[in-house]
Structure 1
Amino acid sequence: MKTASTLLGIILLSPVVSAQIHLGEQLRLSGFGTLSATRSDSKVPVFVHREIADAWCFDCDTTLGLQLDWLINNRWRASVQAVKRPQDHLSDPELEWAYVESAWGAYSAKVGRLRLPLFMMSEYNYVSVAYPWIRPAHDVYDSLLGITHYDGASFEWNKAVSDASQLRLSTFMAVPGDNDYRLYDTNYTLAADAAFGFTADWYQEENQYRLTYITSEANLAAYNTNIDHYDLDLFAFGINYSLAHYHVFSEFIYDRTLYANWYLGVARQFGPWQPYVQYGQRRKLNHNESYLLGLRYNITANVALNAEWQYITSQENMINGHFTRIQNPMGDIETEVEVFSAAISFTF
C-alpha cells in the first residue's frame, strides 16, 4: 500500500503526465499505467490473471508500460513496448511488441513481435485511460486467457474512401508458439501451430467498425500431458460509435465449439464526467451474464479516475462464470459475485 501511494504521488506530480519524452528528433519515449483498489463479496477469486476476492487488493490491476519509438527515416520505423501486466511482477515485465515497420504509399509491413489484432482495443489493451472502463470487457477479452501478442509478420493496406472515411485491410501470420497460464490452481500450456488472420477496419469520422478472422490449431497440456486439441476458426466483430455526447461500444467473438461471447457498453460525456453502463454474456465454453455500472472523471486528457460496480451471475457448476477456482460440489457453490473497483489511469 505504501509503495502504491508513493508511486501515485510521483505520477501526479511528474511533468511527464502531460507530455511525451522526446529523446532527440528520431526517438520518443511514452508510457501508461493503472493503479487500483478492488475487492469482491466472494471468497472464490474472479477474473483470470487478476484473482480478485473478498479482501481489498491494491495490485490486482496494476499495469505499467513503457514504449520507445524510433523514426529511422521517412520509410522505416521501429517500436518496442514492455508492460508490467496484472499477472507480472514489476521486475519481470512482458515484451508486448518489438517490431520493424516499412511503409510506402498506402502499404506497410511489420516483422517481429506484434499485437494480436483480434479485438477493437487490442492495440491499447492495457491503456485504461483510452476506454471508459477500468478493464476491457472480461466476457470478450478474457476469451484468449491473456494472449495479446504473436511473433510473425503483417501486411497492411490503407485506402481513403472519402474525405470522412477510410478503409484498412491487413493480413498477418504468426509462427508456432507456446503460451503459459494458470487457472483453476493448474498450470496450463497452450501450444499453437502457425496462425493466419485477416482484419478489416472501416473508419467513418469518429466511428470504427472491425471484422477479424483467425485460423489455427492448438494443443492444451497440463502436467506434461495433452488434454485437449482445438481447431480454431475465430471470428470477431466490433463497433465504436459516437453520437453527440454518447459513445457505444460492442464486440462479439465466435468459434463453433468454444465461444459465443459479446458485450454492449454505453458511455455519456458530461464535461469531465463520464457515467457508463455495460452488459455482457458468455455461451458455449462458459456461461455467465455480467452487469457493470461506472463513473469516470477526467482530471486531464492524460489522467482519469474511475469507480465501478460489477455484478456477475452464472450457473451452479463446479467450474462456472469468471471464478478462477474449481468449487466443491458437496458445499455451497458460488454463482453470483459483486466486484467493487476504484482506479487511476494515465498516459504520458
Structure 2
Amino acid sequence: MTQKSLLALAVLVSPLTSVAAIQITDNFSISGFGSTSITKSDNSTPLFVHREITDETCYDCDTIFGLQADLSIIEDVNASVQMVKRPQDHWSDVELEWAYLNYEVNQFSFRGGRLRIPLFLISEYYYIGQAYPWARPPQEVYDSILGFTSYEGISASWLWDVNDEAVVRITPYYGFGNDNKVKFSGARFNFKTDYLAGLSAELSGFNYRVHFGYLNSKYLMSPSSSSEKETLNIYTLGGEYSMDDWLFMSEVQTDDLQTNWYVSAAYSIDKFTPYLVYGESHHRRKSNSVTAGIRYDLSHKISLNAEWQGIYMERENYNAGNEGQFVTAPIHYNEDKDVQVYTVMINFIF
C-alpha cells in the first residue's frame, strides 16, 4: 500500500485517543477523554435527548468522561475496553461502551463482545469531543436513535485497497437479543430486541470519507399501548471532505418513522476553527436548526468551544404537539415553539 492509502487506513482504524495514550507496558496502554460545559437555553422545556437543557444554567448537561484500556495479547490478537460516563449517567453508574477481542489476519479482522454500532460517520468516536469541530454532534441525526450506541455480538471487517489513493472497509455485524433501558423526561422505557443486524461500508481517501450504514432489528418497547413487536430498518449516508483549511461534512438518516439530515462547514485559522451547521428533522420530529460556533485548540489534547444554536418549528407542528428537538412537546409547557441555546464547552484527551 502507498503512503496515501496507509494514511487513509490509519484514519479508519486508529482511535483518536491513541495519540495521547499512556503506555504502561510494551503491550498495554490506557487512554482517556472527556467533555464538560456551561450551557443554557431560553426555553424551560427540556431540550435534547439525555441532555435536557433548559433555561436554567447547567454545568453537567454535557459532561462526558471515558477511560479506555488496550491490550495486545499475542500477535494479531488484541483486546479493548472502554468505560464512559455519558451525559445521562450518574458518576456512580457509568456505562461499559465496548469490551471486545479483535483478531486480524491479512485484510480481515474479526471482533466479538460489546461493540459500537457503526451507523454514522463519527460512531467510533461519538463521545470524544476533541475529534470533531462542534460542541455536540448534530442532534437531528445523532439523537435519532435515542442514544443507543452499542450492541453485544460479533462483526467482521474486510479492507480492500482499491487503488493508490482509496481504501474500502466493509463490516457486516450481528447483535444478540438484549434489553436496553432509556430514561428521559422522568420516564423509563425498555427496548427488548430479538436481534440486531447490519452493514457498514466506508470509502476513504487522503482527504475524504464516504460512509453508508444499515441496521435491521426487531424489538418490543414497554411501556407501550401495543404488545406487537416492531421491525426497524435504518439507513444512513454521510461524507466528509477536506480542502486546504476547509472541512465539509454531511449526513442523512432515514427509517420508517423519520428522515433527518445536516450539512456542516468549518474553516481553520491557526488555532481557531469557526463553523456553521444547518439541520432538519421530518415526520416524527419536525424542526430545523442553525448552529454557529468557534473552536479554539489550546493544544492537540485540549480544545474550547463557544456555540450558539437556534432551533425552530412551524406553528402548525407546534399546535399539533410535535416535539421537535425537545424531549417533550413545548406546547405542554405553555412555552414558545423556538429555542436559542448557548454553550461554552471544554474537550480533552489523555
What residue is the counterpart of 2:146 in the other structure? 145
Aligned pair 1:51/2:52, yes or no?
yes
Q: Deviations over 1:158-193 (max 9, x none)?
A: 011122210111100000112111234421111122
Secondary structure of 1:139 counterpart: helix
Contact 2:44 2:335 in 1 (8 A): no
Structure 1 unaligned runs (5+)? 1-15
What residue is the counterpart of 1:243 in the other structure? 243
Q: Distance in 2 between the 1:56 and 1:332 partners?
A: 20
Aligned pair 1:323/2:326, yes or no?
yes
Secondary structure of 2:74 counterpart: coil
What residue is the counterpart of 1:63 in the other structure? 64
**How many Å apart are 1:20 and its aligned residue?**
2.2
Aligned pair 1:345/2:344, yes or no?
no
Residue type of the partner of 1:190?
A: F
Listed as ranges, the matches of 1:101-116 within 5 Å are: 101-116=102-117
Residue 130 to residue 222, structure 1, CA distance change in 2 (3 Å): same
Q: Distance in 1 between the 2:46 and 2:156 partners?
A: 40
Contact 1:221 1:228 in 2 (8 A): no
TM-score by length of structure 1 reads 0.91
Secondary structure of 1:72 counterpart: strand
Residue type of the partner of 2:251?
A: E
Q: Distance in 2 between the 1:72 and 1:49 partners?
A: 36
Q: Distance in 2 between the 1:288 and 1:100 partners?
A: 41
**How many Å apart are 1:73 and its aligned residue?**
2.1
Listed as ranges, the matches of 1:149-168 within 5 Å are: 149-168=150-169
Contact 2:331 2:337 in 1 (8 A): no
Q: Deviations over 1:118-148 (max 9, x none)?
A: 0110000000010000111100000110100
Q: Distance in 1 between the 2:198 and 2:221 partners?
A: 21
Secondary structure of 1:110 counterpart: strand
Q: Deviations over 1:29-86 (max 9, x none)?
A: 0000001000000011100100100011010000000000001122100000000000
Q: Distance in 1 between the 2:205 and 2:239 partners?
A: 11
Alignment identity in percent? Answer: 36
Contact 1:79 1:99 in 2 (8 A): yes
Secondary structure of 2:275 counterpart: strand
Q: Deviations over 1:245-266 (max 9, x none)?
A: 11011111111x2121101010
Q: Deviations over 1:5-26 (max 9, x none)?
A: xxxxxxxxxxx99842111101
What residue is the counterpart of 2:5 in the other structure? none
Secondary structure of 1:267 counterpart: strand
Secondary structure of 2:124 counterpart: helix
Contact 1:247 1:266 in 2 (8 A): yes
Task: Tell which deviates more after alignment, 17-26 or 72-81.
Answer: 17-26
Aligned pair 1:38/2:39, yes or no?
yes
**How many Å apart are 1:227 and its aligned residue?**
6.2
Cα-Cα RMSD: 1.8
Contact 1:311 1:336 in 2 (8 A): yes
Residue 183 to residue 121, structure 1, CA distance change in 2 (3 Å): same
Task: Tell which deviates more after alignment, 318-327 or 164-173.
Answer: 318-327
What residue is the counterpart of 1:260 in the other structure? 259
Residue 300 to residue 227, structure 1, CA distance change in 2 (3 Å): farther
Structure 2 unaligned runs (5+)? 1-16
TM-score by length of structure 2 reads 0.91
**How many Å apart are 1:333 and its aligned residue?**
4.3
Secondary structure of 1:157 counterpart: strand
**How many Å apart are 1:226 and its aligned residue?**
4.5
Listed as ranges, the matches of 1:1-348 within 5 Å are: 19-222=20-223, 226=226, 229-255=229-255, 257-314=256-313, 315-316=317-318, 317-328=320-331, 332-348=334-350
Secondary structure of 1:133 counterpart: coil
Q: Distance in 2 between the 1:234 and 1:110 partners?
A: 22
**How many Å apart are 1:336 and its aligned residue?**
0.1
What residue is the counterpart of 1:7 in the other structure? none
Residue 300 to residue 228, structure 1, CA distance change in 2 (3 Å): farther
Q: Distance in 1 between the 2:194 and 2:280 partners?
A: 29
Q: Distance in 1 between the 2:157 and 2:68 partners?
A: 22
Q: Distance in 2 between the 1:343 and 1:228 partners?
A: 43
Residue 59 to residue 227, structure 1, CA distance change in 2 (3 Å): farther
Residue type of the partner of 1:253?
A: Q
Residue type of the partner of 1:254?
A: T
Q: Distance in 2 between the 1:188 and 1:196 partners?
A: 22
Secondary structure of 1:274 counterpart: strand
Residue type of the partner of 1:258?
A: L
**How many Å apart are 1:229 and its aligned residue?**
4.2
Q: Distance in 2 between the 1:105 and 1:180 partners?
A: 38
Q: Deviations over 1:68-124 (max 9, x none)?
A: 000112210000000000011112110000000000000010000000000110000
Q: Distance in 1 between the 2:142 and 2:276 partners?
A: 17
Residue 226 to residue 27, structure 1, CA distance change in 2 (3 Å): farther
